[in-house]
Chain A
């Protein structure tokens, strides 16, 4: 009988906080600059230099912790994590060990229509390392590496989950929801491609029913949420095969190879590391007044989950609509601003999720660039019969591109609806005359033929005629 296994996954997320200056010095955190120009004695670890806390980094860290329901500690401490690596300027990373900034916490995610709570171990602050560029094809065969310390010392938030995740897909969903939440707090831009959000995973398998944890493998270097899912799925399969063949999993650290789509062990890892943590003597313990924490809490925006519930209740949206509008904070803001002046919320959502999002994608614009009132104006023009639906769609594209008011566009381009017999009849007559076959078909009982005729007239009117009115007119003429 083949053994069944449960997958146990814990994630470690590193997040660069969006501060102007680094965690312990005044160097800029701007991404993508020439190498080694955002460096000073402190972030280069020059002899004699000393760290000083950046208040903003602590504020942001606290707000993320609060958003994750993690208990912010009034007293926390910074420690040195000692190890040698060329991207680490001081031979130690200033991090938090046994007294982290915040303990516990959780994030609720939707998994297969069900709500799942992923519990957190801790949230803590630490400093970012520099960046290594490897000569040769990969880390494995480079003859030398180049170091750029621009990144070194940027404030990094580490979020550690409990081993509460059970599949690659779940890990991915968690990360997606986490990113949404983090973007709400404004603490990070969460750009995995720029490295401002990174994820390492610990994964082990255990026989179904067993409570003991299996030997775990640490997977690094996953550069997208998709890669996380793929790497973990790969590991599940790999470990399953080994265990099923009575083999042993080796506790090791692997790199995800995006080209080969496989995990590759980093050579030479001998047992667990000894980081010789001890309290950072250059920094006094961090004491956060209750009022400081309360203030950060009060400054938190409404978070995606609460907002989703409120959108469903208050606007009567269904789950899918509410999710769409809360996944992206600015889209939700847009909706709410528009909903202030327009009460058919469902209709508003339809416009947003259909045409508006399509036009935004087409034009490369972001929703912040669109005035919510303009969309309301457009829908109102349509509802009042001032324009036809096809014209409305055309106008939306124009409006997104130019930012001009639909009213103005209608006037400028003469796109107002054409109605009334005296304007429409000449067009109808012309189409009937030009399409005797269709007329004949209709008379023989083919309903579709009338639609064809309506379409012809519409085309002639430049979409400005009202299809319903036309249909009546045509049917009256040829019945």
Chain B
């Protein structure tokens, strides 16, 4: 797996929003390299014309009726909130955020 791991690890850690210290990065680079080498064996198989399996179940999806059910009481919604303000969850500034999405 000839990936430039220092850079690759940084990039993937950023995508996954994981702060890793320097030691973790070094170890991670080494271990990921080995694991991916094994995982990469899947590429040895010829899968031309083979459909991927995302689900082992081949039944059609179940649809539920459009009925409302009681939501959680507010105190239960917020009971695990690490930081809250009034009845909201509170988060630090999103100014430096990379993307805004729908």
Contact = CB atoms under 8 A, between A and B. Distances in A.
14 contacts: A19-B66, A38-B71, A40-B69, A40-B71, A54-B63, A81-B101, A142-B95, A144-B90, A145-B90, A147-B90, A149-B89, A266-B100, A267-B96, A270-B98
Contacts, number: 156
B50 interface: no
Interface residues of A, number: 71
Contacts of A34: 74, 87
A86 to B, nearest CB: 4
B21 interface: no
Contact of A27 (B68, B93, B97): B68
B66 A142 contact: no
Interface of B: 15, 17, 54-55, 57, 59-72, 74, 77-78, 85-102
Contact of B91 (A81, A86, A156): A86
Interface in A34-53: 34-41, 44, 52-53
A329 interface: no
A85 B99 contact: yes
Contacts of B61: 53, 283-287
Contact of A146 (B64, B90, B93, B98): B90
B56 to A, nearest CB: 10
A19 B98 CA distance: 32
Contact of B97 (A38, A85, A143, A276): A85
Nearest to B58: A284
B64 A52 contact: yes
Contacts of A88: 101
Contacts of B94: 85-86, 132, 134, 139, 142, 145
A12, A126, A266 — most chain B CB neighbours (10 Å): A266
B67 A284 contact: no
A160 B70 CA distance: 34
Contact of B93 (A41, A58, A143, A283): A143
Contact of A148 (B60, B70, B88, B96): B88
A28 interface: yes
A4 B59 CA distance: 56
Helix, strand, loop or mixed for chain A's interface? loop
A93 B61 CA distance: 19
Contacts of B57: 284
Nearest to A59: B66
Contacts of A148: 88
Contact of A273 (B70, B78, B99): B99
B88 A147 contact: yes
Given A279-B54, A284-B55, A26 B99 contact: no
Contacts of A279: 54-55
* Closest 6 pairs between A and B when the two form their complex, measured CB to CB: A26-B69, A56-B66, A146-B88, A279-B54, A55-B63, A287-B60
B66, B85, B97, B99 — most chain A CB neighbours (10 Å): B66
Given A27-B71, A39-B77, A40-B69, A83 B101 contact: yes
Given A84-B17, A267-B96, 19 more contacts: A12-B102, A21-B67, A37-B74, A52-B62, A55-B64, A83-B99, A85-B97, A93-B101, A143-B93, A144-B91, A145-B91, A156-B102, A220-B100, A266-B100, A268-B97, A273-B99, A278-B54, A285-B60, A286-B60
Contacts of A143: 92-93
B85 A146 contact: yes
A38 B74 CA distance: 9
Contacts of B69: 21, 25-27, 40
A409 to B, nearest CB: 44
